[in-house]
Amino acid sequence: MKLINIFAAAALWQSAFGFNFIDMEQKRKSLQLSSTLKDGDSRREFFGKAGAAAFSLSSGLSLEVLAPLPANAVGGLDKVNAQLKAYGLPLTSKPPSGLNPLLEVYGKGKNRFPLLVLMNHPITWVVTLPSNDVNGEDGTIQAGEYAKGDTATFFVYEEPGHVNNFASAGKDLYEKAIIKSISQKGNNIYQDFKITKVVPQDPNDYGGKEYVICDFRYTLLTGAGFEVDRRGVASLTSEGSAVEVLWTASTRERYKKTEPTLRDIAASFRVYADGLNFSSDLKNYDSVV
């Protein structure tokens, strides 16, 4: 039953790409969430608490459940390093305790260009991968503890093309890329976005590639009328003909607890494109139903 609840929660998150609070007002009343409103709380604080609590209670998740990877995902340090070695790429180091590496090809479909994506994620998080059919590929690489609003999501921002000297490209570009990442369902789902810190990374730690870590915050506007303050950390780079983003975020209330994990996830992000042979990974549409 717990695993069923996990995938049900994941489906809800994917359908809205944010907090999809179904019948939130009914849940709020039935759970008597109005008790979370304390004297002096603002309206935004109340709805943030109520929304997070209702979403968590409605899913019935337990952190003790270890979420299985999708059948076609490459996970586990030994398997990931074997695959990296086959591509001729540097091996990844052992992740921090409680995290698991994931290696996946994004862009197996005819409508996207292929990228090899590496990231760590907590072993309890549910992993979702892109889906493919005769029309091409849809969705992205994502992992999350959906009941609590913790997530890490890969996004490809194609508009600027490849960006040389990425570490000095400027805050405006990073802001556009992250906003595009969090607003795939429309610009009306967020407000008050702000990058609070930009830190170019040492290329020596990234095989000579340029990566930038950005701290950010925004307010998620849910379909039920709730406002949820969120805090996040994103890692950005430019490989192939686009800018790639791995953004991670939690609710403001949880961020003090989740920040170290989100930073570990962002720091683990690597994406590869040039010089790799993806021929065996791409979909053969003659055999896809």
Residues 10-66: tens digit of each pLDDT: 433 443 444 333 333 333 333 333 333 344 444 444 444 444 444 443 333 333 456
Domain assignment present for 186: yes
**How close are the terminal C-alpha atoms of the chain, in Å?**
30
Please state the three-class secondary structure of the chain as a single string: CHHHHHHHHHHHHHHHCCCCCCCHHHHHHHCCHHHHCCCCCCHHHHHHHHHHHHHHHHHCCCCCCCCCCCCCCEECHHHHHHHHHHHCCCCCCCCCCCEEEEEEEECCCCCCCCEEEEEEEECCCEEECCEEECCEEECCCEEEEHHHCEEEEEEEECCCCCCCCHHHCCHHHHHHHHHHHHCCCCHHHEEEEEEEEEEECCHHHHCCCCCEEEEEEEEEECCCCCEEEEEEEEEEECCCCCEEEEEEEEEHHHHHHHHHHHHHHHHHCEEECCCCCCCCCCCCCCCCC
Who's near 11: CB < 8 A, 6+ residues apart?
A: none
Domain assignment present for 38: no
Number of domains within the chain: 1
Share of the chain above pLDDT 90, in %: 62
Domain assignment present for 7: no
Question: In the predicted model, is pLDDT for residue 281 greater than 90?
Answer: no
Domain assignment present for 35: no
Write the pLDDT tens digit of every residue in 123-134: 999 999 999 998
- Name the average pLDDT for the chain: 81
Whether 101 contacts 119, CB under 8 Å: yes
What is the per-residue burial (b if ≥16 Cβ within 10 Å, else e) of 19-34?
bbbeebeebbeeeebe
Share of the chain above pLDDT 70, in %: 73
Domain assignment present for 19: no
Domain assignment present for 116: yes
Q: Select from 133, 152, 155, 154 the least CA-distant residue to 143.
A: 152
Domain around 115: 74-272
Domain assignment present for 69: no
CATH code, 150? 3.40.1000.10
Q: Which pTM does this prediction carry?
A: 0.76
Domain assignment present for 11: no
Q: Angle of helix 43-59 relative to helix 2-16, nearest 10 degrees?
A: 140
- Write out the two tokens for 151: 């997530």
CA distance 132 to 215: 32
Cβ atoms < 10 Å from Cβ of 260: 10
